[in-house]
């Protein structure tokens, strides 16, 4: 299934890309995250959040074809 991976801020700088189209068999977010970490080992040293279809998630959500997964740098709110 095709998934769009988006990288923002310093994560885009470190991976040298902001958008990646990935054809994957992963059905769960954590499996996909591991695939991305294997492609970009530099991310293992960084702190980031993840959003799926524009919603920040903390759990291992199920992915569907066409999902957009964003790797977000740390941010502070006020």
pLDDT digits (tens, 9 = 90+) for 15-50: 999 999 999 888 999 999 999 999 999 999 999 999
pLDDT at position 64: 94
Is 77 part of a structural domain of the chain? no
- Give the number of domains in the chain: 1
Is residue 4 within 8 A of residue 68, CB to CB? The reply is yes
Of 78 and 28, more confident: 28
Percentage of residues of the chain with pLDDT beyond 90: 90
Is 50 part of a structural domain of the chain? yes
Is 60 part of a structural domain of the chain? yes
Residue 76 binned pLDDT confidence (cut-offs 50, 70, 90): low
Three-class SS state of 50: strand
Entry pTM: 0.92
Positive or negative torsion for Cα 10, 53, 23, 25: positive
Is 78 part of a structural domain of the chain? no
pLDDT at position 75: 79
Report the CATH number at residue 18: 3.10.20.30
Is 19 part of a structural domain of the chain? yes
């Amino acid at each position: 299934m095709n998934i769009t991976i988006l990288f923002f801020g310093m994560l885009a700088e470190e991976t040298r890309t902001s958008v990646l189209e990935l054809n994957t068999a992963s059905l769960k977010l954590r499996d996909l995250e591991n695939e991305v970490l294997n492609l970009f080992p530099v991310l293992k040293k960084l702190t980031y959040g993840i959003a799926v279809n524009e919603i920040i998630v903390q759990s291992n959500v199920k992915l569907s074809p066409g999902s957009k997964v964003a790797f977000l740098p740390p941010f502070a709110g006020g």
